Structure 1
Amino acid sequence: MAETTSTSQLDDALETAADQIRRAQNDKDLRPSIAGFFDEATNTVSYVVHDPATREAAIIDSVLDYEAASGRTSNGSADRIVEYVEANDLSVAWLIETHAHADHISAAPYLQERLGGKLGIGREIIRVQEVFGKLFNAGTDFERDGSQFDHLFVDGERFRIGTLEGIALHVPGHTPADMAFIIGDAAFVGDTIFMPDFGTARADFPGGDARELYRSIRRLLALPDETRLFLCHDYKAPERDEYAWETTVGQQRRENVHVRDGVSEDEFVEMRTTRDSTLAMPRLILPSVQVNIRGGRLPDPEDNGVSYIKIPVNAV
Structure 2
Amino acid sequence: MTTTAPRTTTQAFFDPATGTVSYVIWDHATRRAAVIDPVLDYDFRSGHTGTASADRLLAYVRAQSLQVDWILETHAHADHLSGARHVQSQAGGRIAIGEHIRTVQATFRNLYNLERDFLPDGSQFDHLFEDGESFRIGDTEATALLVPGHTPADMAYLVDGAVFVGDTLFMPDLGSARADFPGGDARQLYRSMRRLLALPPETAVYVCHDYPPATREPRWQSSVAEQRAHNIHVHDGIGEDDFVRMRTARDATLDVPTLILPSMQVNVRAGRLPPPDDNGVAYLRIPLNALPRPSRRPSPE
TM-score (norm 2): 0.94
Q: Deviations over 1:49-74 (max 9, x none)?
A: 00011100000000000001110001
CA contact (8 A) 1:30 1:163 kept: no
1:80-127 residue CA offsets vs partner (Å, 9 max, x unmatched): 011100000000000000000000001111110100000000000000
Residue of structure 1 in register with 2:210 after alignment:
234
Superposed, 1:95-110 pairs within 5 Å as 95-110=71-86
Cα 1:300–1:147 shift into 2, 3 Å: same
Match of 2:256 in 1: 281
Count of aligned pairs between the two proteins:
288
Q: Distance in 2 between matches of 1:29 and 1:66?
A: 34
1:38 match: secondary structure:
strand
- Match for 2:121 among 137, 140, 145? 145
User: 1:30 Cα deviation (Å)?
Assistant: 4.8
- Percent sequence identity is 60
TM-score (norm 1): 0.90
Structure 1 equivalent of residue 145 of structure 2: 169
SS in structure 2 opposite 1:103?
coil
The amino acid of 1:161's aligned partner reads I
The yes-or-no answer on 1:214 pairing with 2:190 is yes
Change (3 A) 1:113 1:273: same
1:109-146 deviation per Cα after TM superposition (whole angstroms, max 9, x unaligned): 11101000000000000000000000000142111100
1:39 aligns to 2:20 (yes or no): no
Determine if the alignment matches structure 1 residue 135 to structure 2 residue 108: no
Q: Deviations over 1:219-254 (max 9, x none)?
A: 00000000000000001136x321100000000000
The 8 Å contact of residues 31 and 185 in structure 1, kept in 2 or not, is answered as no
Aligned position for 1:117: 93
Structure 2 match to 1:77: 53
AA in 1 matched with 2:258: R
Structure 1 match to 2:63: 87
Identify unmatched segments of 5+ residues in structure 1: 1-27
Per-residue CA deviations over 1:153-186 (Å, capped at 9, x if unaligned) read 0100000001111000000000000000001111
Measured on the aligned residues, the alpha-carbon RMSD in Å equals 1.0
Q: Which runs of 5+ in 2 are unaligned?
A: 292-301
1:297-316 paired onto structure 2 within 5 Å:
297-316=272-291
Give the letter for the 2:156 counterpart.
Answer: A
- More displaced stretch, 133-142 vs 225-234: 133-142
Q: Which residue of 2 is the match for residue 252 of structure 1?
A: 227
What is the SS of the residue equivalent to 1:57?
strand
Task: State whether residues 122 and 154 of structure 1, in contact with CA within 8 Å, keep that contact through their aligned partners in structure 2.
Answer: yes
Pick closer, same or farther for the CA change 1:265–1:116 going to 2, 3 Å: same
Structure 2 counterpart SS, 1:251: helix
